[in-house]
Amino acid sequence: MSEHVDLLLRPRWLIRVSPDCTPLAGHALAVRDGRIVAVLPADAARERFAPDRIEDLPDHVLMPGMVNAHGHAAMNLLRGLGDDLALMDWLNQAIWPAEGRHVSAGFVRDGTTLAAAEMLRGGITTFNDMYFFPEAAAAAVDRTGIRALLGVVVIEFASSYASGPDDYLAKGLAARDDWQGHPRIAFTLAPHAPYTVSDESFERVRNLADELDLTVHLHVHETRHEVEASLVEHGARPLARLDRLGLLSPNLLAVHAVHLAPGEIEAMARHGVRVAHCPSSNMKLASGAAPVGELLAAGVTVGLGTDGAASNNRLDLFMEMREAALLAKLSRLDATALDAHQALTMATLGGARAIGLEAEIGSLTAGKWADLCAVAFDDADLAPCFDPVSHLVYVAGRENVSHVWVGGRLVARGRRLVDVEDAELMAISALWQNRIDPQAR
């Protein structure tokens, strides 16, 4: 008797990512109740399963949905403000003043809606966020169908969201309680950076992370200036200070991690620290090139992140895969420094590991959520194709994404969302463009 499943997908190539990225031809993937049931030869699937729906993808690669390991989703509304500035000038002259004037629950809801739409259309099914008003971001996540980890922000200065560290934590943890049990929404603790968070606040974060078993999502060693300022103010480099405070642990997701000494890489590996690598943002802000090859060689988990659209300026993991590979080769003068298989892993299972969701997403593995992305290779610009993995990293782009599923549910097809009309997205964008006056910076 045939086994019932909700959906059977039959692509030209299927890339599981785990145990490796070898493309499988003539295979199928079965989905039931939102989860992957099996990956098996198409002939065997035909005999074993009775699907409610069959989706043939004759010119496509089927791969895990990509995982954006770091970003600030609502900052889509600030895309293009403060371009071509170094990090601290960008923050002080453009971003923080604009946020002070405009950030609200409505800003975060609308900006996150735009970001989720951009990510889903580009094959990103999960993102890890750090921003104010996480309850408003959660509403956008719930509506658009994407999966997210939302940060409980901690920062020393007041904002329109909270008056100080205690208020940020109280409000963020209350939002976490309100959304507890949602199948696509979870939370992290998100202290902004060593230069904006005190020792006392870091100690509270550490205790909460241990108590609640939450990831600590933190910018660290992003610029030389950050490292030099920490030496002056704290007598230690940021990672050494974090180690002293007990924050180097498998709970820590270190974002950027650009300026690292060899001993620091060893310490991160020893403590199980994870890294979110954001190559486009690092290049655009001239922060530097993270030592990704050395981190991977030391056994550090590395995922890919876009950062926010205000410092990138797009939420595009196809671009990040390509630039991660090319930047690693250039910075080490070694064409083998980061290959296509490693880059694809960083954008999928590596990202899932980085944010602590590797048991649920990141590979086409039975039992995991059916978070999936189909990429069409039926365009002459992509022909010929000798290696689908190489093509995904070096040739294809987000414009080639044809289908996206989250939890087995189709959320985007043909670059359009199922749940939100393009006209609404354009109306949201126009509303905020009229409110935000770039000349007021």
- Burial (CB < 10 A; 0-12, 13-18, 19+), residue 66, is buried
Crossing angle (nearest 10°) for helices 105-121 and 134-144: 40
Q: Are 154 and 132 spatial neighbours (Cβ–Cβ below 8 Å)?
A: no
The pLDDT value recorded for residue 439 is 59
**Do 304 and 352 meet the contact criterion of CB atoms below 8 Å apart?**
no
Cα–Cα distance for residue pair 407/405, rounded to 1 Å: 6
Strands (E), 97-164: 124-129, 147-154
Run of H or E residues at 10: strand 3-15
| Residues recorded for the chain | 441
Comparing C-alpha atoms, which of 418, 394, 415, 363 is closest to residue 122? 415
pLDDT score, position 223: 95
Domains of the chain, first to last: 3-64+372-406 (2.30.40.10), 66-354 (3.20.20.140)
* Alpha carbon distance 344, 347 (integer Å): 5
pLDDT of residue 197: 98
- The span from the CA of 389 to the CA of 373, in Å, is 14
Chain position carrying tokens 């690598």: 277
165-178 and 134-144 helices, crossing angle to 10° = 30
Tell me: the pLDDT tens digits for 97-139?
999 999 999 999 999 999 999 999 999 999 999 999 999 999 9
Which pLDDT belongs to residue 438?
Answer: 61
| Residues of the chain where predicted confidence (pLDDT) is lower than 50 | 440-441
Question: Would you say 368 and 360 are in contact if contact means Cβ atoms under 8 Å apart?
Answer: yes
In this prediction, residue 440 carries a pLDDT of 44
The position carrying tokens 């493309």 is 23
* pLDDT score of 138: 98
